[in-house]
């Protein structure tokens, strides 16, 4: 069965621009989470969606937003990009709450110049 698919794999954007990242979860998985990974801060939780509802949000500014569609696919958006937003953005999916383990995608590497 197909894994978690994230597109694009690599992205280069200019400061001030906005970006949308996409995540297709494993078929049948309804919970999708997003994490930001940087060398300085490590892995940090962005948000989690289940059946199109955001159930939890991490400590990130309002420039970071997300949504989930009825087919469980999810997108995250970052507006007014800053250099510090350069990171690997990881999406993970789970059948429900993730307490039995999330399956992660390979990530989208965002570079802001």
Partner 1 sequence: AQSVTQPDIHITVSEGASLELRCNYSYGATPYLFWYVQSPGQGLQLLLKYFSGDTLVQGIKGFEAEFKRSQSSFNLRKPSVHWSDAAEYFCAVGSSGTYKYIFGTGTRLKVLA
Q: Which string of x and - marks every residue 70-89 that binds partner 1 (by CB under 8 A)? A: --------------------
Please tell me the distance from the alpha carbon of residue 69 to that of residue 85, in angstroms, as a whole number. 24
From candidates 1, 2, 14, 42, binder to partner 1 by CB under 8 A? 42
Q: Is 43 in the site for partner 1 (CB under 8 A)?
A: yes
Across the strands, what pairs with 12? 111
Q: Is 97 in the site for partner 1 (CB under 8 A)?
A: yes
Q: Which residue has the tokens 């597109």?
A: 7
Q: Is 90 in the site for partner 1 (CB under 8 A)?
A: yes
Whichever of 14 and 59 has its CB closer to partner 1, that residue is 59
Locate 52 and state its tokens: 């199109």
Locate 19 and state its tokens: 């970006």
**Burial status of residue 43 (CB atoms within 10 A of its CB: 0-12, 13-18, 19 or more):** exposed
Which residues are at the interface with partner 1 (CB under 8 A)?
4, 31, 33, 35, 42-43, 45, 48, 50, 55-56, 58, 90, 92, 97-107, 109
């Amino acid at each position: 069965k197909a894994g978690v698919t994230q597109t694009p794999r690599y992205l280069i954007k200019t400061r001030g621009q906005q970006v949308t990242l996409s995540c297709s979860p494993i078929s049948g998985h309804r919970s999708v989470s997003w994490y930001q990974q940087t060398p300085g801060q490590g892995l940090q939780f962005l948000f989690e969606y289940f059946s199109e509802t955001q159930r939890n949000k991490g400590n990130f500014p309002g420039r970071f937003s997300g949504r989930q569609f009825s087919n469980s696919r999810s997108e995250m958006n970052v507006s007014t990009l800053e250099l510090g937003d350069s990171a690997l953005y990881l999406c993970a999916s789970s059948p429900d709450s993730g307490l039995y383990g999330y399956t992660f995608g390979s990530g989208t590497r965002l570079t802001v110049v």
